[in-house]
């Protein structure tokens, strides 16, 4: 998979330094993956969730740094690309306000 963009991951690492190690592990693992569907994603990340947002599109949400943060992505399996859409705290994620802007 190709993560779009590494810049977004670096920005999240700068903003949330305690998540840096977990984010960089995620980035490396995803770059080495070749997932074809959510079932394959869950083999590597059992807690990954496919979530439908207001636009009716499905995003994949990863737990980062145990359960402290959420990384919201759009995975295009056919193109082998993972788009980083948003990184947020678990508290912000729980508010569900992020679903209407994706």
Which domains occur in the chain, in start order?
2-101 (3.30.2310.20)
Residue with tokens 């082998």: 80
Q: CA angle, corner 93, sides to 91 and 96, nearest 5?
A: 115
Q: What is the DSSP letter of 68?
A: T
pTM of the model: 0.93
Residue 55, judged by CB atoms within 10 A of its CB (0-12, 13-18, 19+), counts as: exposed
pLDDT at position 101 is 66
Residue 73, judged by CB atoms within 10 A of its CB (0-12, 13-18, 19+), counts as: buried
pLDDT of 22-65, one tens digit each? Answer: 999 999 999 999 999 999 999 999 999 999 998 899 999 999 99
Q: 64: closest CA among 16, 3, 5?
A: 16
């Amino acid at each position: 998979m190709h993560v779009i963009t590494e810049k977004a991951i670096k920005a999240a690492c700068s903003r949330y330094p305690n998540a840096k190690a977990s984010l960089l592990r995620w980035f490396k693992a995803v770059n080495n993956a070749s997932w074809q569907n959510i079932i394959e994603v869950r083999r590597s990340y059992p807690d990954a969730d496919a979530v439908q947002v207001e636009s009716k599109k499905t995003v994949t949400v990863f737990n980062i740094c145990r359960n402290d943060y959420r990384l919201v992505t759009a995975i295009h399996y056919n193109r082998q690309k993972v788009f980083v859409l948003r990184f947020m705290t678990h508290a912000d994620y729980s508010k569900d306000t992020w679903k209407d802007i994706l």
